[in-house]
Amino acid sequence: MRKTLTRTVAVLALSAGALGLAGGVASADELTAPVAVPSHPTGADYVNAWNQSGALLGAGAAGLLSSAWAGAIPSIIQGAAGSLG
């Protein structure tokens, strides 16, 4: 019972994380860096700059993870092929 519950929670957490990263990447398509704040900012300008910076950070982290995963697959395949031969 405990193993099943742990595995279920792990799968749900990983799925939620993957969906969260995908959403962050999709929403960051319209953003440009660096985020500019007007010369006479209001509180809403600071909030918008904060949110845009967070979206750019999320997009960068997702890009880093996808690049690492894309590089890991050939390494795993080459390692497995080398150990078989």
pLDDT tens for 18-44 read 666 555 555 545 667 777 788 888 888
Find out whether 80 and 71 touch, Cβ atoms under 8 Å: no
User: Where are the alpha helices (H) located in 1-85, listed in sequence order?
Assistant: 2-27, 43-84
Taking the whole predicted model, whether its pTM rises above 0.75 is answered as no
pLDDT tens for 67-77 read 888 888 888 78
Closest CA to 58 of 18, 37, 15, 28: 28
Domain coordinates in residue numbering, the chain: 1-36+43-83
